[in-house]
Structure 1
Amino acid sequence: MYAITPQAIQNILAEKCQVAETDKLLVAVSGGADSMALLHLLQKAGCQLAAAHCNFQLRGDASDSDEHLVTDYCNANAIQLYKTTFDTQRFAADNKLSIEMAARELRYNWFQEIINDEGYNTIVTGHHGNDSIETFFLNLVRGTGVKGLTGISFRNNNIARPLLPFTREQIERYCEKNNLDWCHDASNDDCRFIRNKLRHEVIPVLESINPAFFDTMQMNMAHLQDTELMLEGEVERFRTNEVVDEEGTVIIPISKLKLYPYYASLLFELLRPYGFNSSVVKEVLEHLEGLSGKQFFSDSYRLIKDRHNLLVLPIEEIGVQHFWIEEGLNVGEQTLTIRVYEKPADFSFSRKPELIHLDADLVDLPLLVRKWKQGDAFMPLGMKNFKKLSDFFIDEKYSLKDKEDAWLILSGENIVWVLGKRIDERYKVMKRTKRILEIQLQ
């Protein structure tokens, strides 16, 4: 176990956190023992720094006391202090977030604004080794992959955490030895919160079984970090060789996935960056041999089980569903050029899927362009009977994504063209046709 000294912090910043001596540090200071010790240690180590404190207005006078403590310390030690106050409860309600997640989002967004505006390089937080162990068990009981069992990292983007080798007890002893005041957050004692229940009821039992529990867990998480690196290499090889990204749609071939001996773990790691948790991935695995069209959702993405692939794409707002076009260039959800001309003697039909010719005298301009809907039917070129568009899509082997992206052009209430695929028999150019309507999809 490390001794907690300014020199030790300096070494950890350089070796573990990749922080250069010339970096300007923005220190997140709540007023608790960990952040007050961190600020003192960094100042004693000679770092270039400023402090940042958020008042979340969640604990009444206690929140104000935290702010006064941090302010007084920074004034007494000539440390620049940035302060802000948030209406955390309103932000959480407006954005449908838990109080914990709302506070996290508010503070890190604000920290990033300071970083951008004032030229700091790194945000430094007071997360310590006990926090990391609690995170391990929190992820374990919720369900996680290997990454969730590696604890808190020393460096994540521009956030550094140099207190991770130390225990909560070491930090409090450091504060006492150096006459540092700190505030105790009473909400940390409320065992209705899972993290607090682990801290106060579960982990003490494990510590009674193994007096070296802290060091054992530090070693376990270090081994798991190595395991994660090896796993990441395997996942990255599969992603590079087999997974395709087509204009924002990630395509995972099911046949290639199932050749992998441990494809359940592989799929979890492939889907984890898109927010799919272990229970959703389990459900996906259960439907790998099922019918096409089944969908699964994370907060920001959806996964579609297609015939041969798993398709991962962002959840998007419903966009424009219809618009009108007339002769000339039409720029909308689809870019279309329309022109009408006399049929030449040497006229020949287009064989390009993006270019069609119709009998202009059978079509009424302007034309309606819209997304397809259930119940739509047309008479595909070469047929004498109507066909439901849903059946046409099956014949053409449309995926669910293809169907969602399908557009139609209509004259009145009649479909004249399934965009990029087939025109309607009733509007084709014939010998008696005098004028041509040409539509080109850009």
Structure 2
Amino acid sequence: MVKQEVQKVLARYGVRKEHPVLVALSGGPDSMALLNVFMELGYSCLAAHCNFHLRGEESDDDEKFVVNYCLGRDIPLHVRHFYAKEEAVKRGVSIEMAARELRYSWFWELMDKKNLYWLATGHHGDDMIETFFLNLARGTGLRGLKGMQFRKGQLIRPMLALRRQEIEQYCYEQGIHFRTDSSNTDTAFQRNNIRHNVLPVMNMLNPSFFNTMMHNFRNLEEAWQIVEKEVISVRKEIVAEEGDQMMIPIRLIEKHPQRSTILFELLRPYGFNSQTVSEIIDSFEAIPGKQFFSANYRLVRDRFNLVVVPIREFKDELFYIDSEEKEILSPVHLKIRQFERKNDFRISRLPDCVHLDADHIDFPLVIRHWHKGDQFRPLGMETFKKLSDFFVDEKLSLVEKERTWLLLSGDDIVWVIGQRIDDRFKVTSNTKNILEIKVLNSVKERE
């Protein structure tokens, strides 16, 4: 049954024998059965084992077991040691999530290094059902409930239609030894809690629960395909991306009949969960400015848009420009030149290229972020204006304000870079020497 099922899946997804396969080998019944089937079918296999050092000597014994097994059958084996607990703390995630990220990162690295096409894992149907309940409790949306795929890119899971019990029975019948993870009985782990406490109840309520869930997964997959198509369409039509900033028009997402699901899927890649998405939707009726955070991103509910940007620690850094500088790359890419005013000189009207009276400028110039209380005299005005009021007039979002840089001469603001110069530094009929500063944005200009 196991061999036939694996063979059927491999044929369905075009996993041919001329393509070597990397098998993720833990030493448990699932991965041992999978490796054995591949070898029986005549595939060329490499094995990869991760020692996460989570169970002391038991983890080391698992490693010794797979090493001896592969040595005895001339199967190339690669072993990598990880310290999952320490990594989980460092990354601020669960041990299970840290271990998953570590092993897959290494698997893909190994695939590239060895020029392999297929990565095979021993996930089975019971794994998929357990993951369903985990994701149901976490609120991951339809994407997390639809189950695993037999094939996802170069990843193949040939045993998803099989039960754990069938795989273990296959091992006993074929005389395949395997290791049993003692932590599988520890219900402190959420997955084990579901396995030992939730699923027995479901099987008691419905003796055909496994088959029912396999049917449910097929239905959920089809439902997900409908949702995914709509998410792609909405993303293409209304989402704007500029650099590392993503903007979603509030008015358009608010009118969508499935706005909760669509917004969750748009924000999911940025780490926002369903609870936070609900709070974001509730904020549509509130005054602008509210912020929401995931682990690595910040969402600002602006007047017209939801603006998503990476979380950064803004330091009050100062950047200096000496009188001899012709170009700087950080924090803004600027080109600088000084020249004597000629009769045919024309003042720039572009916001990213300014002409200033060089004789009114004191070097070194300073570039910094704006501070509360900053004020300047916008070009054309005779009185000072607070920079915060200027930002309001220019309809700058909170994110745009935070990302605005100022050019200063001494303590005086010369230019709100890319926005407006100070009237005190403008070119007049008496100006003899010109300071030109240009913001470079395009690759062509940089070259």
CA distance in 1 between counterparts of 2:341 and 2:74 reads 86
TM-score by length of 1: 0.93
Check conservation: 2:249, 2:304, Cα contact below 8 A: yes
Counterpart in the other structure of 1:427: 425
Quick check: 281-290 or 197-206, which moved more? 281-290
Check conservation: 1:329, 1:335, Cα contact below 8 A: no
Residues 319 and 45 of structure 1: CA distance in aligned 2, closer, same or farther (over 3 Å): farther
CA distance in 2 between counterparts of 1:36 and 1:416 reads 70
Residues 46 and 248 of structure 1: CA distance in aligned 2, closer, same or farther (over 3 Å): same
- The Cα offsets for residues 151-194 of structure 1, whole Å up to 9 and x where unpaired, read as 22222332211111011111111111111211111111111111
Correspondent of 1:13 among 7, 10, 17: 10
CA distance in 2 between counterparts of 1:431 and 1:294 reads 47
Shift of 1:438: 2.9
Q: Gaps spanning 5+ residues in structure 1: where?
A: none
Counterpart in the other structure of 1:438: 436
Counterpart in the other structure of 1:379: 377
CA distance in 1 between counterparts of 2:212 and 2:268 reads 28
SS of residue in 1 equivalent to 2:434 = strand
The code of the aligned residue for 2:282 comes to E
CA distance in 1 between counterparts of 2:93 and 2:271 reads 16
SS of residue in 1 equivalent to 2:128 = helix
Shift of 1:61: 2.3
Correspondent of 1:106 among 96, 102, 111: 102
Counterpart in the other structure of 1:177: 173
Shift of 1:346: 5.9
Q: Gaps spanning 5+ residues in structure 2: where?
A: 441-447
CA distance in 1 between counterparts of 2:151 and 2:416 reads 52
Check conservation: 1:7, 1:45, Cα contact below 8 A: no
TM-score by length of 2: 0.92
CA distance in 1 between counterparts of 2:130 and 2:438 reads 61
Counterpart in the other structure of 2:337: 339
Correspondent of 1:361 among 354, 359, 363: 359
Counterpart in the other structure of 1:406: 404
Check conservation: 2:319, 2:366, Cα contact below 8 A: yes
Residues 9 and 337 of structure 1: CA distance in aligned 2, closer, same or farther (over 3 Å): closer
Check conservation: 2:5, 2:158, Cα contact below 8 A: no
- The Cα offsets for residues 2-26 of structure 1, whole Å up to 9 and x where unpaired, read as x32x2321211232x5533322111
Residues 225 and 18 of structure 1: CA distance in aligned 2, closer, same or farther (over 3 Å): farther
Check conservation: 2:5, 2:159, Cα contact below 8 A: no
* 1:417 is aligned to 2:404: no
- The Cα offsets for residues 87-133 of structure 1, whole Å up to 9 and x where unpaired, read as 33343444444322232233222222321222221111111100000
Counterpart in the other structure of 1:203: 199
Counterpart in the other structure of 2:123: 127
Shift of 1:319: 7.4
SS of residue in 2 equivalent to 1:287 = helix
Shift of 1:324: 1.7
CA distance in 1 between counterparts of 2:189 and 2:124 reads 19
Quick check: 27-36 or 249-258, which moved more? 249-258
SS of residue in 1 equivalent to 2:336 = strand
Counterpart in the other structure of 1:219: 215
1:72-111 maps to which residues of 2 (within 5 A)?
A: 72-111=68-107
Shift of 1:341: 3.7
Percent of matched pairs sharing the same residue: 48
CA distance in 2 between counterparts of 1:318 and 1:79 reads 52
SS of residue in 2 equivalent to 1:307 = coil
Check conservation: 1:327, 1:338, Cα contact below 8 A: no
Correspondent of 1:233 among 229, 235, 254: 229
SS of residue in 2 equivalent to 1:211 = coil
Residues 78 and 439 of structure 1: CA distance in aligned 2, closer, same or farther (over 3 Å): closer
Residues 67 and 339 of structure 1: CA distance in aligned 2, closer, same or farther (over 3 Å): closer
Quick check: 65-74 or 85-94, which moved more? 85-94
Correspondent of 2:280 among 274, 277, 284: 284
Correspondent of 2:114 among 108, 115, 118: 118
CA distance in 1 between counterparts of 2:317 and 2:11 reads 55
Shift of 1:345: 5.0
1:289-308 maps to which residues of 2 (within 5 A)?
A: 289-308=285-304
Residues 241 and 92 of structure 1: CA distance in aligned 2, closer, same or farther (over 3 Å): closer
SS of residue in 2 equivalent to 1:58 = coil
CA distance in 1 between counterparts of 2:298 and 2:111 reads 34
Counterpart in the other structure of 1:395: 393
CA distance in 1 between counterparts of 2:43 and 2:148 reads 23
* 1:194 is aligned to 2:185: no
Counterpart in the other structure of 1:261: 257
Shift of 1:265: 1.4
Q: What is the aligned-residue RMSD (CA, Å)? A: 2.1
CA distance in 2 between counterparts of 1:355 and 1:119 reads 50
1:125-164 maps to which residues of 2 (within 5 A)?
A: 125-164=121-160
Correspondent of 1:246 among 229, 232, 242: 242
Shift of 1:58: 1.9
The code of the aligned residue for 1:425 comes to D
CA distance in 1 between counterparts of 2:427 and 2:300 reads 39
The code of the aligned residue for 2:428 comes to M
Correspondent of 1:68 among 60, 64, 78: 64
Shift of 1:64: 2.4
* 1:26 is aligned to 2:22: yes
Counterpart in the other structure of 1:47: 43
Matched pairs, number: 438
SS of residue in 2 equivalent to 1:403 = helix
CA distance in 2 between counterparts of 1:405 and 1:181 reads 60
SS of residue in 2 equivalent to 1:250 = strand
